[in-house]
Structure 1
Amino acid sequence: MVDHNPKIEVYLPDSNLQAEDTPFYAVWDSSENFAIRLEIPKGMTLKELYNVDEKEIGKGGSNVFLIRKPKVNGYLSGILASTTDASNSNITKAIKISLTKIGSGAASDEENLYEPKIKLFRPDVQLFSEAPKRIKIKKTPTGDVELDGQLSIVNRGEGIGVVLTEVLNKEVSVTYSEGIGKFFEELMKGLKIGLTEISKLYPNYSSIISTLILFLDRPIGLTKEEQEKLRTVITDFQELADKDEGFATEISIAVNSAILRSIQLKPDLSSFVAYTKTGAEGKILNSDALKSLKVDKGEHVFLAKMKVYDLGQNPCGEIILPEIILETDEEVEVPFYDIVLVKHR
């Protein structure tokens, strides 16, 4: 929100993801001098403060900062950090910014107090209903699979939840789905081959290309440090392409070659597209939607947990699934989008 009076403006966003950095600022008429008191709410910390020397910052408490004099009069800005609240997916915080006028003839109590509020939210993905204890899997004459039970999940929070399933035992294995998975597997393989060849043509860029290839293998579940590194790599990569026309041309050729190589598989994407539409409407993205569970003939125990992230890749909890028996009369591959059903809240 923006609080406004003729000479002072204070800004804090109306909302943001929990665990993401939040900017704020105060702007005032540079002909006026103010002593500034900044109070940060519990659960948030002051990560950065701009336009002020450290020696000009005093403490009025554990989360209270007293700014005596900005470097350049007229504005103050900073970054607030917060963490994921495990118990609440939607919380409201307020910071207090007090600007007290100082200078010749100024009244000692001439204070301007602002308390802008921000809603901090996160996805809250849960089981929609009790997980089945047993799922029977049958292959149809057309090669599709039928299940007599499914896992149902729902996002009861705000923002999109990204779900990554980790299988905890070896009785069932995870593989790419036929057609769809192979298409994306070949696409990633083609991109890595193309990038590797480019690194030979441009040895000066080999380090940044190698780093990008590593991230292609693990796009989900990155740490904060890895996310920052990935952003830096992508920015540097884009800058290189902007500056070097030959490099940009080689990248374009590599991407197009990877797409052409993959499209030859002619995957049937209709069921996957329908699933992703359902997931988008339910504010859940299943990062395993291109994968399948490979189940051998007989009965097998399925143990797994679902890790949940927001779009900033911040962890937002996990779902520990109970033991589920998978039963089939023949070896089958079951797409994750057939096993996990996304519900609307």
Structure 2
Amino acid sequence: MWSITAALSWLTGRDELIEPIEPAVRTPEEILSNPYLPSVLDVIVVKSMLVKGLKLPLELIDSIVDQAEYWPHTSSEINYATGDSPFYTVGYSTTADDSENELLLRAVPLGFLKWPPQDPPLEKARNLHPTAVQPSPPGEQFPADVFQGLMGYPVPLVTHPCRKIVFTTRSRDQAWGGDAQDHHTYHGSWTWFEAGLERWTRKQGDSPPETQMQPSLALKDLTAIYPPVVAENENTYKYDHQLLPSENLKVQCNKTAVHETLEHTVVWRYTDDMDPENEQAAAELASSGRGTATGDGRFVRQLELGDIVTLWGKTRFPGWANHVESVKVEVYWVV
């Protein structure tokens, strides 16, 4: 397990020099609208300063950092408007290959600064994003310290380190259909986005699971947790995509029958505590197009080191189409 002492040793042993930077003076409005996004190195430096300069206990330092939301993050994004078409369409059409459940984006594994570890970087390897992993039942999980050893920086051994996920979508539906009273509202919408989850687990095969010491970090070895996987027959499995939206995973739906592309930013925090059984809270979330059970923070709190957040595009019923211009997922975690 990494300690502040180990972090200082790691910090002072780095080849590059840390040059002091004259801080820019910004107004409170500028700070709120465009907050500084620290790197892992920034967080370690600040913690080290608090330890050495103010002699604060580590528990208080961790609390200060959490309250300030001074967390590193990764950002994964695809812009579909740069190709031959202004958007990517999820939904029914005359083309048989079109689907109503499509993987749109795969984030960097939680706690990793980049992935895959080899070239090209994730943001340039666009073929990694729309490739859903082969459905298979999840196996035994790797312990958190296994992923900690693969990250290359002094991350604390926290089983559930995720603090915030920010989803940003630009999209619209087919701009017609649905009940007239639902037009230009989030009611009656059958085009939406859902969060998913993938992780590396020990698999059955030539070697016993207990001899698989660490994950391969290969795309082909990922296991889907959400959407859930069910047995199709004795030897094959399939994704279990429900007809209705999963209210605990539904990130955002499009407004019904709106011609303009709209941008939605949805933030899930580990401190969210809306009761899914509270009708008023559920109605508040539904009125903004979110899943009625996405306000309790459970998804964020249960993420583990190495977990991968995914984003799926969804539609239901003939004629409905989710025209996606761009999607983005930012994942913040504690160091």
After TM superposition, the score normalised by the length of structure 2 is 0.27
Q: Which has the higher strand share?
A: 1
After TM superposition, the score normalised by the length of structure 1 is 0.26
Highest Rg: 1 or 2? 1
Higher RCO (CA-CA < 8 Å; seq separation 6+): 2
